[in-house]
């Protein structure tokens, strides 16, 4: 048996997330459909993360175990032939047998995209949140620094999470403006259910009340461990899984 690691990119607007489910089309399902076309069998694939319906991925990894002799390069090319235009395999390579796309992961970075303008950009519909109100990116960046470090993120976790621990270590919390586009980047060793969307929604809620948008406010919410103290869950369209880290690189060290 060989273990193959696939790097994917997908537009999540057409999908009900990554994981196969009975009530809608998912990225895992279309990938398994393509694998069946190429390999003549329906192989199981394991993703590095679950994504919500409508959430995108600039970088996503999954692995499969197979005894099929197809080369990694040929498999990637063949899968792209059968995948829909909204998903693509960027690369494929063989990895050690004990590699696991999810459990070998050392961290992830998400980006939340906010279009801070009065009028929507048709080229960005489905890929960002339109926010026509004032958005003080510098103040939000300062407030977001309270996310950094190891904290109990219960206040930033949606009901229904199956995580045993709500403690996560955030290594990046950055808000930056590029013209009418405002980006929130969050990197951590792991994320809870809807965590980044609640973080983004809380920052937007603070933007509505600039007097509360100060360093220390996020820390108070974290300390409360109370979901009702945080802001609403931001819509999924603005969220993108930006980077997945294994060891010190985007690729596993074993594959370098």
Catalytic: 249?
A: no
| β-bridge partners, 60 | 8
Residue 140, SS3 per DSSP: helix
Torsional class of 18: left (φ above 0), alpha (ψ -120 to 50), beta (otherwise): alpha
pLDDT digits (tens, 9 = 90+) for 185-211: 999 999 999 999 999 999 999 998 866
Residue 132, SS3 per DSSP: coil
Q: Is residue 25 scored above 90 in pLDDT?
A: yes
Q: Is residue 250 scored above 50 in pLDDT?
A: no
Question: Residue 241's closest CA among 188, 201, 198?
Answer: 188
The neighbour count for residue 139, using CB atoms within 10 Å, is: 17
On average, the pLDDT of the chain sits at 92
Q: Is residue 67 scored above 80 in pLDDT?
A: yes
Q: How confident is the model at residue 22 (pLDDT cuts 50, 70, 90)?
A: confident
Which pLDDT score is estimated for 254? 42
Residue 175, SS3 per DSSP: strand
Which pLDDT score is estimated for 255? 41
Identify the active-site residue in 52, 152, 211, 249: 52
Neighbouring residues of 233: CB distance < 8 A, sequence distance ≥ 6:
158, 194, 197, 198, 201
Q: How do the domains of the chain map onto residue ranges?
A: 2-104, 107-244
pLDDT digits (tens, 9 = 90+) for 101-148: 999 999 999 999 999 999 999 999 999 999 999 999 999 999 999 999
Q: Is residue 256 scored above 50 in pLDDT?
A: no
Which pLDDT score is estimated for 253? 43
CATH tag, 107-244: 3.30.70.660
Say yes or no: domain 2-104 is CATH 3.30.70.580. yes
């Amino acid at each position: 048996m060989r273990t193959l690691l696939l790097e994917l990119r997908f537009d999540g607007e057409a999908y009900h997330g990554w994981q196969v489910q009975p009530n809608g089309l998912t990225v895992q399902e279309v990938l398994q459909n393509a694998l069946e076309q190429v390999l003549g069998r329906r192989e199981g694939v394991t993703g590095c993360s679950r994504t919500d319906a409508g959430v995108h991925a600039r970088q996503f990894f999954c692995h499969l175990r197979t005894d099929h002799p197809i080369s990694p390069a040929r498999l990637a090319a063949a899968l792209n032939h059968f995948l829909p235009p909204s998903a693509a395999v960027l690369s494929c390579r063989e990895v050690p047998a004990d590699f696991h796309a999810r459990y070998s992961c050392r961290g992830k970075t998400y980006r939340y995209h906010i279009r801070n303008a009065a009028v929507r950009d048709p080229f960005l519909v489905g890929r960002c949140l339109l926010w026509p109100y004032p958005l003080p990116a510098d103040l939000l960046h300062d407030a977001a620094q309270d996310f950094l470090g190891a904290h109990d993120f219960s206040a930033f976790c949606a009901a229904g999470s199956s995580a045993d621990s709500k403690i996560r270590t955030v290594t990046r919390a950055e808000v930056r403006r590029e013209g009418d586009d405002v980006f929130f980047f969050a990197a951590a060793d792991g994320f809870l259910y809807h965590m980044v969307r609640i973080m983004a929604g809380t920052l937007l809620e603070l933007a509505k009340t600039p007097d509360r948008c100060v360093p220390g406010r996020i820390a108070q919410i974290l300390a409360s461990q109370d979901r009702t103290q945080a802001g609403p869950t931001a819509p999924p369209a603005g969220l993108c899984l930006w980077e997945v880290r294994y060891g010190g690189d985007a690729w596993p060290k074993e594959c370098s």
